[in-house]
């Protein structure tokens, strides 16, 4: 049970980071970013490719990338075991590089399609994301392709018994910082402009707002945050395989969490992520028992897809605004007008 709780906390933190960044893009700005998996992949590439190459260069190891990475990571883990602060330094370096790279790629990612309407925009973003995903899978020099590469263990100085707990606390701490940052950012005039662009882009443009720049900035910030989740996931698994960053796990499931919790509601997203992760982890752990008990005539691996597909249909039909609907923004002038009207 302790392992299950740690697993729930860990996935809750990682998915919350991804879902909050997607909620800013889709829930607030109305940008259907069906290529969200790309930002998470960028974080993993930062750890598996850029950071590993820096380590290979530091130790002066020659040879093929995948083989050199194995030796370099082994030597780095030995150093981290002696100096725990080195592991924290590796984490900070990876997060900084991933955030910058994620922002730049997010801006370039949206640039070719920033003027498209919602449907065409979503399809274009999905196509670009899938293209880069396939390149990373079949090009072994990026992150080892379908073979994968090892990454340093930033908690190698701590016993394996506490590794899961430390990662869960680290991920939850990062998720809390992301929640506070996004909540504060979207409470500014920038957040109100995003909602105006979502509701009526023509009106927002008529008031002098450059919608293309706003879209580029929004996806850039969202991709930078999503890349942080990719960094944390890469360090937790200790091994990066490009096949793991599929559109189902890192795009469609976060969309599901947002729709469950409430589009445009950060607190609703928290609830939606928690609901999904708890049900998803319990299904993954007890799926064979559930199959035998209910005599389900399908493979247990499909239970998660079936159940959450049903949940999605029920939510869209009976509560389309989600569990915690989006609330209107009351700025101080609006509050004064509302108070004068009531009085």
Q: pLDDT, tens digit, for every residue of 92-145?
A: 999 999 999 999 999 998 887 767 776 788 888 899 899 999 999 999 889 988
pTM of the model: 0.93
DSSP letters for 199-239: H-HHHHHHTT--HHHHHHHHHHHHHHHHHHHHHHHHHHHSE
300 class by beta-carbon count within 10 Å (0-12 exposed, 13-18 middle, 19+ buried): middle
Which of 35-49, 281-295, 304-318, 320-334 has the weakest average pLDDT?
Answer: 320-334
How many angstroms from the chain centroid is the CA of residue 45? 14
Which residue in 216, 225, 214, 213 sits closest to 182, CA to CA?
225
Looking at the predicted structure, is the pLDDT value of residue 175 above 70? yes
Is the pLDDT score of 340 beyond 80? no
- Per cent of the chain over pLDDT 90 is 58
CA dihedral (46, 50, 52, 54) in degrees, to 10, reads: -140
When the pLDDT of each residue in the chain is averaged and rounded to a whole number, the result is 90
The structural domains of the chain, with segments of one domain joined by +, span 2-245
Q: Which residue has the higher pLDDT, 329 or 142?
A: 142
Residue matched to tokens 């991709």: 223
- Check pLDDT > 70 for residue 178: yes
| DSSP of 117-158 | -HHHHHHHHHHHHHHHHHHHHH-HHHH-TTT-EE---TTTTS
* 68 pLDDT above the threshold of 80: yes
Q: Does 343 score more than 70 pLDDT? A: no
Cα within 13 Å of Cα(131), Cβ side = 7
């Amino acid at each position: 049970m302790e392992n299950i709780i740690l697993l729930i906390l860990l996935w809750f933190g990682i998915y919350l980071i991804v879902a909050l960044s997607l909620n800013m893009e889709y829930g607030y700005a109305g940008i259907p970013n069906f290529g969200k998996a790309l930002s998470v992949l960028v974080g993993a590439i930062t750890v598996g490719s850029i950071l590993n190459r820096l380590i290979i260069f530091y130790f002066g190891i020659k040879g093929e990338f995948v083989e050199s990475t194995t030796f370099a990571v082994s030597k780095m883990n030995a150093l981290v075991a002696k100096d725990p602060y080195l592991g924290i330094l590796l984490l900070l370096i990876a997060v900084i590089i991933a955030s910058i790279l994620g922002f730049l790629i997010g801006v370039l990612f949206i640039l070719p399609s920033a003027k498209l309407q919602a449907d065409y925009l979503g399809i274009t973003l999905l196509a670009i994301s899938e293209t880069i995903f396939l390149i990373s899978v079949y090009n072994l020099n990026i992150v080892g392709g379908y073979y994968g590469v090892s990454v340093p263990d930033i908690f190698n100085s701590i016993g394996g018994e506490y590794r899961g707990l430390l990662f869960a606390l680290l991920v939850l701490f990062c998720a809390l910082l992301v929640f506070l940052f996004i909540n504060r950012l979207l409470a500014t005039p920038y957040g109100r402009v995003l909602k105006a662009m979502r509701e009526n882009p023509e009106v927002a443009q008529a008031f002098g707002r450059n919608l293309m720049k706003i879209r580029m900035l929004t996806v850039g910030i969202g991709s930078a945050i999503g890349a942080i989740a990719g960094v944390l996931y890469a360090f937790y698994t200790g091994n990066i395989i490009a096949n793991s960053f599929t559109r189902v796990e890192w795009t469609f499931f976060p969309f599901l969490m947002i729709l469950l919790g409430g589009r445009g509601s950060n607190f609703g997203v928290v609830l939606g992520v928690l609901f999904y992760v708890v049900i998803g982890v319990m299904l993954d752990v007890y799926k064979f028992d559930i199959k035998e008990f209910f005599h389900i005539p399908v493979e247990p691996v499909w239970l998660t897809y079936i159940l959450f597909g049903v949940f999605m249909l029920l939510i869209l039909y009976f509560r389309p605004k989600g569990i915690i609907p989006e609330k209107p923004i009351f700025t101080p002038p609006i509050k004064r007008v509302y108070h004068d009207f009531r009085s």
